[in-house]
Chain A
């Protein structure tokens, strides 16, 4: 029962662990996927339950963020007063660590583990406070969001696009004594967000839309649950180690499927998948490479295919090396809490089991509590590979050198025999010589050397010497031994050499693959990605390569390659998702080899390679490597396409949002005056009323209809701007004249205000569309009238600045809220909601018109108070045309 005894190392580790933990407080983390899932709430509920059981629970710090339902839970709990810290004149309230240490509650609640303390606190981070509390023996309850876990930080940033700076080391999370997940589905969370139940810090407001997307929330939730599960798994492994348990612990099933390098394994893998799905279990597909195993290249290819299949079906794959297959399987199974092992039925003859032992037998006997399933398929040592054809022709030089070595050996033997050495020693010399040949040269020279050795030894040394006759039959055995040793050495050498060669090739392939993957990861855009991919494949395989993708928006049809026959091969590959072309089994007559770019969502394209030598990809290592490249390319492309799609969807959402806001804005702004008009008109119709009232109603009808007219004018302008149908009819115009028109049009709106117009007398004519620029003035002036107090003055001025005329419209109102200077030009943006009147299009239209003139419009706040709007109108390169002079004064 050695398996039950913990090994000394583990025991020592456990003792240290216990020492470390002795007297320490216990940490419980309430863990959630995002803000708003109810971590604090759950924590408080837990605390209240403890409080009811008379446990000394104290609230060190809990942020209610003004949520009533959370605040209610705080009632009846002891709350430590916060510590105030003065920082650059601002008073910040922080968790009071010293007070907590002095109070020594049984359980202390400290919200938001990832918090960064105010400058001047003892620790920079709150988790350091918590560590000190734990060290002091205080049990701590705290909350944590998944995005704050160090190792997941970048993953979360990738998912959400929001980087979080405040992170907590994984060790704290992993060493927590208890973990409770506050879980909420994405829908529920979004609903809560909509109901305003989620607190969002000011500075994060902008990120909210980006963060709280349903896709994000689902991904975060999965990440949370997974991370928690991982921790639980680790915990259980730790427990088993501590208690010396080698048996598995039957929580959650885990399947181990053992495969070999043969096609039948695919069935086994599929059975494993079905079983895993049925049991809702994790599953692992494993291959054990025993050193005695000789795996041919085609076997290796089959093995790679099997493992790939397993991965595609969602399994984790493992390849291990080990002397005994069954032992390795069982060791892995125990290490990883495997509950069921799947192996294939043996197909080899029974005598092999008798002679070499049966893997199945060992597995079943050693499995203990693990179930072993034997199903159709096989777990056999691979069939012996057919003798490998000699890779290359052996150069004649090797034979000559082998012969030379034997000749030297003979000469040496003649020098020393029989004076110094015995016949046996000479035989040893010849064995050494054949060994050297076997080590240095390939098989045929070795065989030659072995036979030469026998012949030479027999002729020169075996009595009767200088004849081929053999006096003693014992020497025949010597010959046989010599031959066997030579062949054995040769065989071993060849194998080692082949393996080294294979390892080198694999390493080269891996390095090349790594280089490409790295560059792909740093590349954006489909054309750029395909270019990178093609370059790397060309560099690695020495064959020109192209990535063929269906034309965007044009279904699944390929446009390239230009050659119709080649294109049809590529199309076949795209449609079927199987490789074809030169060097493959399908359509081998093609010039190129085509490999599908397969992703989880299907084949997105084809990798086409035109080998210089059509046999190049018959090399069994080249094709799998190429397919691995293809997979990486597919992943990179898919990533890019998905990112692209996300972006497009984002744009569509944005457009949709705009449409919605247009509709709501327009319907509101049109209905308000309409309501007044129809209301006033109907009361005029129905009742006899005093003349002043009647006139009052009539005046409001008039005013409201004028307002509607302005509004519709703005909307129409906007539509013309948006649809690009705005035509700028540029003519040499006088700015003064246009300002005049605008002022007359707005006479009523500007009544009671002093509007000063200061235009330099030498201001030239400006090429512009008078109707449109008048609209710009009207909108700017209306804007000023709307957002500044009645009676405040407005100033219009202009100057020539760098081949353009710059116009300034300044008011004396409250100015533009800081940071809004740019945004006020956006559609449907209104200054203050109830300022009345506009749809929030006026400035957008101004920008559209000015931009169409080649000018620029911007806004700023004046030092003296009030806002100032500037716009420029370029004067163009041609000077204003001349005007005919007077025939002469009267």
Chain B
């Protein structure tokens, strides 16, 4: 059976060469575009399963491209960007991108993101229980256990954990989290998240200063480590 189709929109030849080699050896079908315009055409014409989009395209704005694609498609989009451009990442994510990767990245990291994105694209299974390492959440009973010990969570903490689990492995921007939990009026109040995330970590993590599940994406948001 043919593997999933990955569309790479990237202007750097070496980058394309590397990704082609890496992805094709991992059974992806690889399609590439070198400009935003070409990318948009390919996204429409080739019906990819996932799009890798470089934010630094010479001919256009990757964020705008994301928005254009989102007008008609829910295809997972992973943006590629350099460190120090956190605003761009947040803007792309808020515009509808699913995840991001900071250049330079390793192939392991890329494959993990791709897996998350593809899984996410498949309809949610609606399983009653979520397990990650020693952490278990039973949605029917609203019961959370860590290494078999029941943990008491406040309603907000539980809600926060639930949102993260629903998007497990995927980054969620501050804005997305705040909107989901406290409503659209709270999207600027990132300190709510700091406080609740700290509480949650102290309850779920063995060492809050070295979290295993609840990861911080500096300047962007949070991610539940799905692996």
- Which residues of A are at the interface with B, using a C-beta cutoff of 8 A? 702, 705-706, 709, 713, 716, 729, 731-734, 736-741, 743-744, 757, 759, 765, 770-771, 774, 880-881, 883-884, 886-890
A881 touches B191 (CB 8 A): yes
Smallest CB gap from A757: residue in B: B209
How distant is the Cα of A733 from the Cα of B201 in the complex, in angstroms? 15
Smallest CB gap from B192: residue in A: A883
B155 touches A886 (CB 8 A): yes
Residues of A within 8 A of B209 (CB): 736, 739-740, 743, 757, 759
B216 touches A732 (CB 8 A): no
Residues of A within 8 A of B142 (CB): 890
A737 touches B197 (CB 8 A): yes
Residues of A within 8 A of B195 (CB): 734, 765, 883
Report if B119 contacts A (CB, 8 A).
no
Residue from the set A713, A759, A771 with the largest chain B CB neighbour count within 10 Å:
A771
Smallest CB gap from B222: residue in A: A737
How distant is the Cα of A731 from the Cα of B178 in the complex, in angstroms? 15
Within 8 A of A (CB), among B186-213: 189-192, 194-198, 201, 207-211
Smallest CB gap from A737: residue in B: B216
B215 touches A744 (CB 8 A): yes
B219 touches A736 (CB 8 A): no
Residues of B within 8 A of A759 (CB): 209
A-B contact pairs, 5 of them (CB 8 A): A713-B84, A732-B190, A770-B218, A889-B154, A890-B142
- Out of B83, B154, B210, B211, which one reaches A886, CB within 8 Å? B154
How distant is the Cα of A881 from the Cα of B211 in the complex, in angstroms? 25
How distant is the Cα of A662 from the Cα of B94 in the complex, in angstroms? 39
Please tell me the number of chain B residues within 8 Å of chain A, measured between CB atoms: 30
How distant is the Cα of A750 from the Cα of B218 in the complex, in angstroms? 20
Within 8 A of A (CB), among B130-176: 142, 154-156, 158
A705 touches B104 (CB 8 A): yes
B194 touches A732 (CB 8 A): yes
Residues of A within 8 A of B201 (CB): 736
Given contacts A732-B191, A770-B218, contact A740 B211 (CB under 8 A): yes
Within 8 A of A (CB), among B81-134: 83-84, 86, 104, 106
Residues of A within 8 A of B218 (CB): 738, 741, 770-771, 774
A734 touches B194 (CB 8 A): yes
Residues of B within 8 A of A733 (CB): 194
Smallest CB gap from A890: residue in B: B155
When each residue 59-85 of chain B gets 1 if its CB lies under 8 Å from chain A and 0 otherwise, what string results? Answer: 000000000000000000000000110
How distant is the Cα of A890 from the Cα of B142 in the complex, in angstroms? 10
B190 touches A884 (CB 8 A): no
Given contacts A732-B190, A737-B197, A737-B198, contact A716 B84 (CB under 8 A): yes
- Out of B191, B198, B207, B215, which one reaches A731, CB within 8 Å? B191
- Out of B86, B190, B208, B210, which one reaches A744, CB within 8 Å? B210
Residues of A within 8 A of B83 (CB): 713
How distant is the Cα of A744 from the Cα of B182 in the complex, in angstroms? 29
Residues of A within 8 A of B210 (CB): 740, 743-744, 757
A737 touches B154 (CB 8 A): no
How distant is the Cα of A705 from the Cα of B14 in the complex, in angstroms? 15
Chain B nearest CB: distance from A478 CB in Å?
115
Given contacts A743-B210, A765-B191, A881-B191, contact A734 B198 (CB under 8 A): yes
B194 touches A765 (CB 8 A): yes
Residues of B within 8 A of A889 (CB): 154-155
- Out of A705, A732, A771, A883, which one reaches B86, CB within 8 Å? A771
Given contacts A770-B218, A771-B219, A774-B218, contact A737 B104 (CB under 8 A): no
A736 touches B198 (CB 8 A): yes
How distant is the Cα of A734 from the Cα of B222 in the complex, in angstroms? 13
Smallest CB gap from B211: residue in A: A740
A731 touches B190 (CB 8 A): yes
Those 6 A-B pairs whose CB atoms lie nearest each other, nearest first: A732-B191, A757-B209, A771-B219, A734-B194, A886-B154, A883-B195
How distant is the Cα of A145 from the Cα of B83 in the complex, in angstroms? 59
Smallest CB gap from B208: residue in A: A736
A881 touches B155 (CB 8 A): no
Chain B nearest CB: distance from A778 CB in Å?
10
Chain B nearest CB: distance from A780 CB in Å?
15
Smallest CB gap from A761: residue in B: B202
Chain B nearest CB: distance from A662 CB in Å?
20
Residues of B within 8 A of A732 (CB): 190-191, 194
Chain B nearest CB: distance from A845 CB in Å?
13
How distant is the Cα of A737 from the Cα of B207 in the complex, in angstroms? 11
How distant is the Cα of A651 from the Cα of B27 in the complex, in angstroms? 60
How distant is the Cα of A880 from the Cα of B182 in the complex, in angstroms? 18
How distant is the Cα of A770 from the Cα of B216 in the complex, in angstroms? 10
Residues of B within 8 A of A888 (CB): 155
Chain A nearest CB: distance from B118 CB in Å?
25
Residues of A within 8 A of B211 (CB): 740, 744
Smallest CB gap from B191: residue in A: A732
Residue from the set B142, B215, B216 with the largest chain A CB neighbour count within 10 Å:
B216
Smallest CB gap from B209: residue in A: A757
How distant is the Cα of A729 from the Cα of B174 in the complex, in angstroms? 15
Chain B nearest CB: distance from A798 CB in Å?
11
How distant is the Cα of A765 from the Cα of B197 in the complex, in angstroms? 12
How distant is the Cα of A152 from the Cα of B69 in the complex, in angstroms? 82
Smallest CB gap from B84: residue in A: A716
Residues of B within 8 A of A887 (CB): 155
How distant is the Cα of A709 from the Cα of B195 in the complex, in angstroms? 33
B155 touches A740 (CB 8 A): no
Residues of A within 8 A of B154 (CB): 886, 889-890
How distant is the Cα of A731 from the Cα of B174 in the complex, in angstroms? 12
Given contacts A765-B191, A880-B191, A886-B154, contact A740 B216 (CB under 8 A): yes
How distant is the Cα of A738 from the Cα of B182 in the complex, in angstroms? 23
Residue from the set A732, A733, A737, A759 with the largest chain B CB neighbour count within 10 Å:
A737
How distant is the Cα of A774 from the Cα of B209 in the complex, in angstroms? 13
How distant is the Cα of A524 from the Cα of B146 in the complex, in angstroms? 73
How distant is the Cα of A606 from the Cα of B191 in the complex, in angstroms? 64
Chain A nearest CB: distance from B115 CB in Å?
20
Known contacts A889-B154, A890-B155, then 7 further A-B pairs from the complex at CB < 8 Å, ordered by chain A residue:
A734-B198, A737-B197, A740-B209, A881-B189, A883-B195, A886-B156, A890-B142
B192 touches A884 (CB 8 A): yes
- Out of B106, B197, B219, which one reaches A734, CB within 8 Å? B197
How distant is the Cα of A765 from the Cα of B198 in the complex, in angstroms? 11
Smallest CB gap from A713: residue in B: B83
Chain A nearest CB: distance from B216 CB in Å?
5
How distant is the Cα of A77 from the Cα of B158 in the complex, in angstroms? 94
Chain B nearest CB: distance from A753 CB in Å?
13
How distant is the Cα of A765 from the Cα of B196 in the complex, in angstroms? 12
Residues of A within 8 A of B158 (CB): 890
Residues of B within 8 A of A881 (CB): 189, 191
Chain A nearest CB: distance from B152 CB in Å?
8
How distant is the Cα of A740 from the Cα of B215 in the complex, in angstroms? 9
Residues of A within 8 A of B104 (CB): 705-706, 709
How distant is the Cα of A489 from the Cα of B86 in the complex, in angstroms? 102
Residues of B within 8 A of A702 (CB): 106
